[in-house]
Every structure is written in C-alpha cells, then in structure tokens.
Chain A
Amino acid sequence: AQKITQTQPGMFVQEKEAVTLDCTYDTSDQSYGLFWYKQPSSGEMIFLIYQGSYDEQNATEGRYSLNFQKARKSTNLVISASQLGDSAMYFCAMRGIIQGAQKLVFGQGTRLTINP
C-alpha cells in the first residue's frame, strides 16, 4: 500500500521568502510518480509539479522545485519568492506506475499562509 505523510499542518511565511513544504512517502513499488497540488479556498486542485521515481534530476517548474531524495523517500516542495497568492492548501500525492487505475494517494496537506 502507498502512504503519504505531510507533517506540517500549517506554515506561515513572509512575502518574498522561500518556503519548503515537507512530504515523505512509503511504497513497495519500484516505479512511481510524485505530485504536488495546490488547493485554494475555492476548492479546485491545481497541479503544480511532477517527479518520476527514475528521474535523476529534481523537477523544476517556474518558482516551484522539488528536493527529491529517493533513499530517504522524501519529496519536498520549494516555493521561491513567495507571493500572497501562494496562500492555500498544498497536497503531496503519489501513484504507482502500473497498468490499470492510476489513482492518486494524497497526504493530509499543509496550509500555507503568506504574510505581507
């Protein structure tokens, strides 16, 4: 079974600072994918960034980057130069790369608040 753990219920950061959101995972799959989604108060889950288990380089997407440490089974999200619009819930998720349903398993999320 796959499991995602996000240990930070809430984070408070000053605008323009960088922030790191933690995520650890557990799986017996050899191949898997790791995702981060942002959920504003409106409720929609917005895809941010993806890391494949066999990707040798850490994924980056604009102000978002991942600190992927496979041996430690962690994939932390780094947001550089935070903005007020970054305030939201952030969810880490994973899926196996097997045939059939590619369902996502989510963590409990971290609520990020950016202070002006």
Chain B
Amino acid sequence: DTGVSQDPRHKITKRGQNVTFRCDPISEHNRLYWYRQTLGQGPEFLTYFQNEAQLEKSRLLSDRFSAERPKGSFSTLEIQRTEQGDSAMYLCATQAGALDTQYFGPGTRLTVL
C-alpha cells in the first residue's frame, strides 16, 4: 500500500452519464498526476497539479474531462457525457518533489456500457 487512495475502485456507467473519481495523495505530496490506461497499453498522461494549480493538460483530455484539486490535497476527475471509448483504468500518482518517484494509487476501472 503506497498511501495513495482512489475511489471508487470500479465504476460501471451507461453511455451519456457523468462520473467523478477521487484521488487522495500521500500526505505532503504537492504534485499530483492523472493517467489513463487502456487495455494492453501503458498508462498515458492526462493532467498534472502542483498544489492546487493545474499546470499541464494532455491533448487526450477532451473538453468532457475536468480535473480539480481545490485545496491542494485530494483531486477529482470528472467525465461528462461518457462514451464507450472512455472505458479504461484511471490512475492517480503523487510525488513529493520534482525529482522524486511517482507513487500510484490502485486505480479506478471505468466501464461504459
């Protein structure tokens, strides 16, 4: 257990519904990342927070996706109007400093029917 927690672990939803995932970082880790991993692939970067500021977003993050980290602690990732192509594992990772290792949470597995 790395100390990064994610909730829920599994989510099944119907196409067109909105879903929200939560990530709780290791205490005092001010850097937080979201990645998406589809079947048979390695994780791909979605977005990055340093404290509460969202400093970088991937082109993978369409306008249906939004992420927040309101007080620089936990973060949420929301997907609006889900599509079947959004089915994937969504991984959160946190990092203490720029040159430190990223530690991952257990992920949220999303299935869009």
A residues whose Cβ falls under 8 Å from a Cβ of B: 4, 33, 35, 37, 42-47, 50, 91, 93, 97, 99-109
B101 contacts A50, C-beta separation under 8 Å: yes
B residues whose Cβ falls under 8 Å from a Cβ of A: 2, 31, 33, 35, 40-45, 48, 55-56, 89, 91, 93, 95, 98-99, 101-107, 109
Which of B33, B40, B42, B89 contacts A107, CB < 8 Å? B42
A103 contacts B56, C-beta separation under 8 Å: yes
**In the complex, residue of chain A having the shortest beta-carbon distance to the beta carbon of B103:** A47
Inter-chain contacts of B93 with A (CB < 8 A): 45, 104
Classify the secondary structure of A's interface with B.
loop
A103 contacts B33, C-beta separation under 8 Å: yes
**In the complex, residue of chain B having the shortest beta-carbon distance to the beta carbon of A92:** B42
